[in-house]
Amino acid sequence: MENPIISCDVSKGSSHIQGFIGLSNPIGSPFVVRHLKCDLKLIKDLAKDLEKQTKKKPIFIFEYTGVYHECIVNYAKSIGLATHAISPLESAKVRKSSIRVTKTDSKDCTNIATVYYTRKTSCFHSNNDDIKALSRRKAELKHECTRVKCVYRRYIDLIWPCIDAYFDTDTQSASLIISRFKHPYYLKDWSAKYIATFLLNHGHFGKNRALEIADKFKEYSSNCVSGVDKKSEYVDCLIRTFERIELIKQEIGNTNLKLERLLRNTIPYNLLKTVPGFGESILLQVSAEIGDYTRFKTSKQFVAYCGLDPSILQSGQDNGEHYSITRKGNKFLRSSFYLAVNQMLQRNIDNQITRFYFKKKSSGLSHKVAAVASCRKLACCIFGMLSNGTCFETI
């Protein structure tokens, strides 16, 4: 007897549900549940019925959407069901393979079940979705941090003008002074010795270095002409923005720790550690986004998943060559590969990726086009590593 599943075609506010004990044995007809507790109880009843018939707990298989699936998946987890997401592209491929292509919500449940039962790999790890969710959350936090830093920078330019001529505002010393004294005019009220003592107590500085920084800040405060008064509301806005940045950084750090704990024993994480240019942040994101790598049968499939495959637009005399990449795949993998290639170039690493880049560059391509082509080569190398279980080797 095959594993029982509950197939779910998700829509906004409601979903179609159907149970299966094998592809040729659907349990009843598809039915609609609203994303409300009173309706979702029907999923619990169906799960009990499937478990009673098969003596196995069913798996909740769903086609993921933007955010519409989150509430129903959360409910499935709350009643103890393992969950797994199916790409809409996979179910669409099943639908289009039929003789008569029909798109209805009720038949989509069967298409989703078909993807599950006909997929050759059995690697349906429920924690893959949790890992990917953490990776996406981290990306959102980094984007938010960048946005808040822009706001913070505007407040700095208003309240602490020309501080860049003395300090980098991202350094520990500048952050400590700005958060503690809030306005440059307050620095005038304190001696350089007091400021140095504050730095020694709250940062990692030697005594001489702390005195040097304190003297420099005193010099800055004596020359500074701030754009607002010490009592201005902008000063409070600056401090709140600074605190917000610190909270985001702390959450990013906690997310990194969770990702590292979930990924450190996986094959992709340990193999990808050997790729030059993969720092900890890129390593975690790439390992999380690849997920179940066994579902890719060829390097072309993996390259397409990353959105690095070339567009094909052939018509008449136009041969369809030299078009840009499709960008239809995983944007997080694509951006990570681009960052990794740039890291290799900045560190002057000599390997097959950078040599390929310079070959393309010498043929007249711009840096961006040559780097994107190198990303595709890097994706092919990573697919080979995962398929063969080998580390990155410079050729």
Phi (first) and psi of residue 71, to 5 degrees: -70, -40
Query: What's the pLDDT at 342?
Result: 96
Task: Please list, in sequence order, all residues whose beta carbon lies within 8 angstroms of the beta carbon of residue 390, skipping any fewer than 6 positions away.
Answer: 271, 384
Query: What's the pLDDT at 390?
Result: 93
Q: Where are the alpha helices (DSSP H) in the chain?
A: 37-54, 70-78, 88-96, 105-118, 127-159, 172-181, 184-187, 192-202, 207-223, 233-263, 267-272, 280-290, 299-305, 331-346, 352-362, 367-388
What is the rounded CA–CA span in Å between residue 26 and residue 387? Answer: 35
Q: Which residue has the tokens 């390997």?
A: 351
Copy the structure tokens of residue 35: 């994303």
Task: Please list, in sequence order, all residues whose beta carbon lies within 8 angstroms of the beta carbon of residue 155, skipping any fewer than 6 positions away.
Answer: 234, 237, 238, 241
What DSSP character marks residue 120?
S
Query: What's the pLDDT at 273?
Result: 94
Identify which of 93, 85, 17, 27 has the alpha carbon closest to the alpha carbon of residue 54. 27
Copy the structure tokens of residue 168: 């980098």
How many C-beta atoms surround the C-beta of residue 117 within 10 A?
Answer: 14
Q: Which residue has the tokens 């997080």?
A: 332
What is the rounded CA–CA span in Å between residue 112 and residue 96? Answer: 13
Identify which of 4, 27, 15 has the alpha carbon closest to the alpha carbon of residue 116. 4
Copy the structure tokens of residue 234: 């902008």
Strand partners, 203: none
Query: Half-sphere exposure of residue 134, counting CA atoms within 13 Å on the CB side?
Result: 24
What DSSP character marks residue 58?
P
Q: Which residue has the tokens 């993996």?
A: 302
Contact 1, 22 (CB under 8 A): yes
Query: What's the pLDDT at 127?
Result: 61
State the 10-residue block means of pLDDT for the chain, 395 residues long: 85 91 88 92 94 92 80 91 80 66 69 79 53 89 95 96 91 93 92 94 91 94 93 95 96 94 91 93 93 87 86 54 69 93 95 95 92 94 94 88
| Domains present along the chain, CATH in parentheses | 4-119 (3.30.420.40), 140-254 (no CATH), 267-388 (no CATH)
Task: Please list, in sequence order, all residues whose beta carbon lies within 8 angstroms of the beta carbon of residue 137, skipping any fewer than 6 positions away.
Answer: 255
Q: Which residue has the tokens 């890291």?
A: 343
Query: What's the pLDDT at 320?
Result: 47
Strand partners, 84: 61
What is the rounded CA–CA span in Å between residue 123 and residue 130? Answer: 15
Query: What's the pLDDT at 107?
Result: 80
- 3-state DSSP assignment of residue 239: helix
Task: Please list, in sequence order, all residues whose beta carbon lies within 8 angstroms of the beta carbon of residue 83, skipping any fewer than 6 positions away.
Answer: 59, 60, 61, 62, 73, 76, 77, 126, 129
Q: Which residue has the tokens 């193999």?
A: 271
End-to-end CA distance of the chain: 49
Phi (first) and psi of residue 164, to 5 degrees: -65, -25
